[in-house]
Amino acid sequence: EVVTEDPETAFCTLASREDLNLEESSIHHCLYQFTRNEKLSETNKLLCDVCTQRHCGPKKNLKSEKKYIYTNAKKQMLISFAPPILTLHLKRFQQAGFNLRKVNRHIKFPEVLDLAPFCSVKCKNVVEGSTKVLYSLYGVVEHSGTMRSGHYTAYAKMRNINSHLSELVLRGESTQGESEPVKGQWFHISDTHVQAVPAAKVLSAQAYLLFYERLL
């Protein structure tokens, strides 16, 4: 379904993107690139039904006459609904000729992530007037090895119940929560081996999957 939006707010976000730390090897840079404003021009022009009808008239058989009007446009993907649980899947492979090669580069990710710069100004499930949509890290999946073989391990935080998260899941309502990461102890899990680790060890992992729970 095509929805006509106010051009003044169609590409606006809940918080400014200008102050973001866009270090290349960071989750902020990944999210910024995924939600960047793209220009559609030349061979990527958009087929405009309104322009076509204006040019050919509404009573003409457009399919038979093939008089379509294409126009330059802007495209941007923004988050329209802030989920209770945020799962980020990092692309850990790249094309190398006819083969796929694993990407082993470390991507920096924070314990508390603000999703507001990547959310539409009309984002649902956000308190009106809020300029922050905060998430606390509680799980990381890491892969060691190559594209052909390897081993998956995980980091998980044992923590207290997040009452704000419970309200979001059960009622779908957003209340004012905490802005600090949920307190708890991190554990590294590899098959049957479980070991307590500091947060610094978790943040140095080569993350493949990141799991965040909603704070604000």
The pLDDT tens digits for 103-159 are 888 999 999 999 999 999 989 888 888 899 999 999 999 998 887 888 999 999 998
Single pTM value for the model = 0.82
Closest C-alpha among 19, 153, 182, 154 to residue 85: 182
Q: Among 5-9, 38-42, 161-165, 169-173, which range has the highest average pLDDT?
A: 38-42
pLDDT tier, 176 (very low <50, low <70, confident <90, very high otherwise): low
Is the pLDDT at 87 greater than 70? The verdict is yes
- Cα angle 180, 113, 75; round to 5: 150
pLDDT tier, 162 (very low <50, low <70, confident <90, very high otherwise): confident
CA-CA distance, 93 to 146, in Å (whole number)?
A: 10
Is the pLDDT at 208 greater than 80? The verdict is yes
Asked if 154 and 142 touch (Cβ cutoff 8 Å), the reply is yes
pLDDT at 48: 83
pLDDT at 69: 86
Residue 198 burial (CB < 10 Å; 0-12/13-18/19+)?
Answer: exposed
pLDDT at 173: 64
pLDDT digits over 14-70, tens only?
A: 999 988 888 889 999 999 999 998 998 898 888 887 788 777 766 555 455 557 888
Residue 215 burial (CB < 10 Å; 0-12/13-18/19+)?
Answer: buried
pLDDT at 174: 63
Closest C-alpha among 59, 45, 119 to residue 83: 119
pLDDT tier, 165 (very low <50, low <70, confident <90, very high otherwise): confident
Residue with the larger pLDDT of the pair 180 and 143: 143
pLDDT tier, 93 (very low <50, low <70, confident <90, very high otherwise): confident
| Domain architecture of the chain: domains with CATH | 80-214 (3.90.70.10)
Average pLDDT over residues 93-106: 83
The two tokens of residue 49 are 């039904």
